[in-house]
Amino acid sequence: MEKKIITSPSIMCADLLNLETSVKALEDIGIDALHIDVIDASFSPSMPLGLDTIKRLRAKTSLDFDVHIMSTNNDWFIEQILAIGVQQISFHYETSLHADRLVNLIKRKGVRAGLALNPATSLSCLDYLLPQLDQVLLMLINPGFAGDAGEKQAAYSEQKISDLAALIRQRKLSTEIQVDGRVSLESIPHLIRAGATNLVLGSTSLYIPGRSLLENKKLLDAAIQNGKLEKPESM
């Protein structure tokens, strides 16, 4: 059976001054989950959203919360996010002393667990942990900032996605491959063909200025369909 491609808008790209309205608009166009970046100052200075904001947002929508923790203090942030009540938490391998323990902690609470990898981090860190993971989040840019035209996806992104997809197939797993960073309408067909199953949508897919959210969503659906064809149609 064809695997569903999950769409996860990155909430840091939405109108942060009108968050409740922005989330309602996402509910209206039909997306699968809210991708919420929790960034502390030592991982990256960008810090778009605080824990209190996420807690208040939780009370306003029943959409799934897919939280991406970018922190040097995973233990503390995971405890805080679990207390808010979310459906999926990914944290970074690069800042984890005890990744195995943290994955178990998340899963014991009935929450899906993901491991996030920076572009240059090798897939070999997944050798033993992969069967326990619900998803691997592949950062296609160095994390921290959305929409910065100065940084493009790493040149080896598609290769890394297809290497991971092969690993998942060989081991007969159903791990999701989430991709994040400049996931654009142009790149989506290629990313899906390489094996991505979950797209984090930001400034180059869902939040393109000059077009309504609904118009962008229609173009996005077309790009996803194109990705399911054997060869992408030129867009």
Ligand X SMILES: O=C(CO)[C@H](O)[C@H](O)COP(=O)(O)O
Answer for which of 66, 158, 176, 180 binds ligand X (CB under 6 A) is: 180
Answer for which of 5, 54, 144, 176 binds ligand X (CB under 6 A) is: 144
Catalytic residue among 66, 75, 127, 180: 180
Name which of 68 and 193 has its Cβ closer to ligand X: 68
Name which of 160 and 182 has its Cβ closer to ligand X: 182
| Distance in Å, CB of 205 to ligand X, minimum | 7
Name which of 36 and 111 has its Cβ closer to ligand X: 36
| Residue 138 engages ligand X in binding (rule: CB under 6 A) | no
| Residue 195 engages ligand X in binding (rule: CB under 6 A) | no
Residue by residue, DSSP assigns the chain as -PPPPEEEEBGGGS-GGGHHHHHHHHHHHT-SEEEEEEE-TTT-TT----HHHHHHHHTT--SEEEEEEE-S-HHHHHHHHHHH--SEEEEEGGG-S-HHHHHHHHHHTT-EEEEEE-TTS-GGGGTTTGGG-SEEEEESS-TT-SS-TT-PPPTTHHHHHHHHHHHHHHTT---EEEEESS--TTTHHHHHHHT--EEEE-TTTT--TTS-HHHHHHHHHHHHHHHHSSSPPP-
Q: Which stretch binds ligand X (CB under 6 A): 76-84, 160-168, 176-184, 188-196?
A: 176-184
Tell me the site size for ligand X, rule CB under 6 A: 18
Q: Is 28 known to be catalytic?
A: no
Binding mask 1-20 for ligand X (x = CB under 6 A): ---------x-xx-------
Residues with Cβ within 8 Å of 87's Cβ and at least 6 positions away in sequence, in order, are 33, 64, 65, 66, 111, 112
Which pair of structure tokens corresponds to residue 190? 């290629």
Of 231, 232, 182, the C-alpha closest to 205 is 182
Catalytic residue among 28, 32, 37, 64: 37
| Residue 181 engages ligand X in binding (rule: CB under 6 A) | yes
Q: Is 37 known to be catalytic?
A: yes
| Distance in Å, CB of 44 to ligand X, minimum | 7
Answer for which of 203, 217, 223, 226 binds ligand X (CB under 6 A) is: 203
Q: Which residue has the tokens 């970046």?
A: 37
Name which of 68 and 169 has its Cβ closer to ligand X: 68
| Residue 114 engages ligand X in binding (rule: CB under 6 A) | no
Q: What is the binding site for ligand X (CB under 6 A)?
A: 10, 12-13, 37, 141, 143-147, 180-183, 200, 202-204
Q: Which residues are part of the catalytic machinery?
A: 37, 180
